[in-house]
C-alpha cells in the first residue's frame, strides 16, 4: 500500500505518453513523473526536455531498478509488455501497462500471477472504462433501460499506414490488438456477459496482420454482438456503440475518447432522450484510479484478471479468422 506522492518512471518515448500520462499527471498533485528511458537516448533526452521529466536514464532496467520510483508506465510495443511488466512488478513497482495488456492470453496470465504474488497493482490502460460515460452506459443497460438486451454492435476505426509498427508481426501487431481490444472489453463490460466468439473475418495486410477485423460473438441465449475495427489507410476516424433491446435502443458516439465529444441517445417507444456526459479526459480518470489502487483504496476496473479475459477474446477472434494469436509462431501464408 503506497502513501504519499506516486513517483513514475516511463519506459519509452512513445507518442501516447503526453496524453496518457504527462498531461493527466499535471492535474494530479499526488503524481510525479521522475524518469524516462528510451531505446534512442537522444530522442529520450529531447522528450524529457519537452515534457519536463527530470531524469533520462540509460536503460529500461535502470528505470525499473531505481529505488525512488514507485510505478512504471509501459507504452512499449505489445510484444514487450509481458517482459517489462513482470520485471517491474518483481522490482516492487506498480505497473500501468498500455493496452492490450499482453501479446496473448498466456502472457496476460503470467503477468497477473506475478501481480498477485507481489501484491502490486497491474492495470491495463483501457482508459475509456474510467470516464463517467462508460459508467452511464453500463448503468442504463444493467438497469433495463432498453429491456432485455438482444444485440450489441460496436465499431472503431482509425486510418493507418502500412509502415506503422502496429502492422509488425514481431511486435504483436494487428488492428484487433490495437483497436479491437477496446470493443471486446466494451461488449463484456456493458453487457455483463462473457462473450464467445462465433465467427471472424479479417482483411490481411502484411502476413498474419489484420488491417480490418469483423467478428460475431454470442453473449447468452439468442443475444449476439458484432464488432468491427479498421486501420485501413482511408478508414474514417470514428467510434460508436449501440444496443438493441426488447423495449428500446441505445446509441453512443465516441465511447473510446468521450472527452473529445460524445452523445448518448436512448430511444424507448416514441420517446427519444439525448445526453452528453461531461468530464475530464479518460486518462485523467484512469490515473486518479491508479493512484487510489496503489494506496489500497480501490481495485482497478482493468486489472490483470480483466486483462486475461480480454486477451482470451482477442486470441479467440484471431483463431476464428484463421490467424495465429500474437506471440505464437507465425505459419507461412
Report pLDDT digits (tens) over 224-234. Answer: 999 999 999 99
Residue 290 shares a structural domain with residue 274: no
Quick one: 120 and 215 in the same domain? no
Domains in the chain: how many in total? 2
Same domain, residue pair 119 and 91: yes
Residue by residue, DSSP assigns 263-295 as EEEEEETTEEEEE----S-HHHHHHHHHHHHHT
Same domain assignment for residues 143 and 273: yes
pLDDT over 90 at 328, yes or no: no
28-61 confidence digits (pLDDT tens):
999 999 999 999 889 999 999 999 999 999 999 9
Q: Give yes or no: residues 152 and 225 share one domain.
A: yes
Average pLDDT over the chain reads 95
Q: Which of 325, 300, 304 is nearest to 197 (CA)?
A: 325
Mean pLDDT of 152-181: 94
Residue 200 belongs to domain spanning: 132-278
98 closest CA partner among 82, 113, 87: 82
pLDDT of 1: 59
311's CB contacts (< 8 A; 6+ apart) are 100, 101, 102, 104, 105, 107, 108
Kindly report the CATH number assigned to the domain that includes residue 161: 3.30.360.10
How far, in Å, are 184, 185, 199, 204, 214 from residue 193 at the CA level?
11, 11, 18, 30, 19
End-of-domain residue from the set 234, 251, 278: 278
CA–CA distance, 132 with 250 (Å, rounded to integer) = 16
- Percent of the chain's residues with pLDDT above 90: 93
Q: Domain boundary at 228, 247, 278, which?
A: 278
306-326: pLDDT as tens digits: 999 999 999 999 999 999 999
Let me know: does 229 contact 155? Beta carbons within 8 Å: yes
Q: Could you tell me if 323 and 202 are in contact, meaning their C-beta atoms sit under 8 angstroms apart?
A: yes
My answer on whether 144 and 255 are in the same domain is yes
Q: Is residue 317 part of a domain?
A: no
Q: Is the pLDDT of residue 329 over 90?
A: no
Residue 267 has pLDDT above 50, yes or no: yes
What does the pLDDT read at residue 116? 97
Please tell me the predicted confidence (pLDDT) of residue 127.
Answer: 98
Give me the mean pLDDT over the 140-161 stretch.
96
pLDDT more than 70, % of the chain: 97
| Cell representation of residue 287 | 490515473
Q: Are residues 14 and 114 in the same domain?
A: yes
Q: What pLDDT is recorded for position 333?
A: 44
Q: What is the mean pLDDT of residues 184-206?
A: 96
Indicate the helix (H) or strand (E) that contains 42.
helix 41-51
Residues 138, 60 share a domain = no
Rg of the chain on CA atoms, in Å: 20
Note whether residue 250 is domain-resident. yes
Distances (CA, A) of 49 to 68, 75, 76: 20, 19, 20
Contacts of 324 (CB under 8 A, 6+ apart): 208, 318, 330, 331
The pLDDT value recorded for residue 222 is 85
Amino acid at each position: 500500500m503506497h502513501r504519499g506522492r506516486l513517483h513514475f518512471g516511463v519506459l519509452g518515448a512513445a507518442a501516447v505518453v503526453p496524453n496518457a500520462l504527462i498531461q493527466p499527471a499535471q492535474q494530479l498533485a499526488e503524481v510525479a513523473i521522475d524518469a524516462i528511458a528510451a531505446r534512442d537516448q537522444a530522442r529520450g533526452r529531447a522528450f524529457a526536455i519537452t515534457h519536463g521529466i527530470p531524469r533520462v536514464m540509460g536503460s529500461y532496467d535502470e528505470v525499473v531498478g531505481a529505488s525512488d520510483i514507485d510505478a512504471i508506465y509501459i507504452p512499449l510495443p505489445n510484444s514487450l509488455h509481458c517482459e517489462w511488466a513482470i520485471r517491474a512488478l518483481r522490482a516492487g513497482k506498480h505497473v500501468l501497462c498500455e493496452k492490450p495488456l499482453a501479446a496473448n492470453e498466456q502472457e496476460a496470465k503470467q503477468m497477473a500471477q506475478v501481480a498477485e504474488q507481489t501484491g502490486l497493482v497491474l492495470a491495463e490502460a483501457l482508459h475509456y472504462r474510467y470516464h463517467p460515460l462508460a459508467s452511464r452506459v453500463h448503468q442504463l443497460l444493467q438497469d433495463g433501460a432498453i429491456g432485455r438486451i438482444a444485440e450489441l454492435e460496436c465499431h472503431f476505426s482509425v486510418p493507418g499506414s502500412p509502415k506503422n509498427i502496429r502492422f509488425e508481426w514481431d511486435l504483436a501487431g494487428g488492428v484487433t490488438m490495437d483497436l479491437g481490444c477496446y470493443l471486446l472489453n466494451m461488449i463484456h463490460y456493458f453487457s455483463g456477459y462473457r462473450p464467445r466468439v462465433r465467427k471472424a473475418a479479417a482483411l490481411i495486410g502484411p502476413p498474419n496482420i489484420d488491417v480490418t477485423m469483423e467478428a460475431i460473438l454470442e453473449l447468452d441465449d439468442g443475444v449476439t454482438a458484432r464488432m468491427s475495427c479498421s486501420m485501413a489507410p482511408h478508414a474514417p476516424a470514428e467510434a460508436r456503440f449501440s444496443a438493441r433491446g426488447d423495449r428500446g435502443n441505445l446509441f453512443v458516439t465516441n465511447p473510446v475518447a468521450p472527452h473529445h465529444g460524445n452523445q448518448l441517445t436512448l430511444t424507448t417507444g416514441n420517446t427519444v432522450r439525448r445526453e452528453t456526459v461531461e468530464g475530464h479526459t479518460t486518462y485523467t480518470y484512469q490515473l486518479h484510479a491508479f493512484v487510489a489502487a496503489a494506496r489500497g483504496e480501490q481495485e482497478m476496473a482493468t486489472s490483470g484478471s480483466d486483462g486475461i479475459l480480454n486477451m482470451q477474446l482477442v486470441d479467440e477472434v484471431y483463431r476464428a479468422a484463421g490467424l495465429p494469436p500474437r506471440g505464437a509462431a507465425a505459419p507461412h501464408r
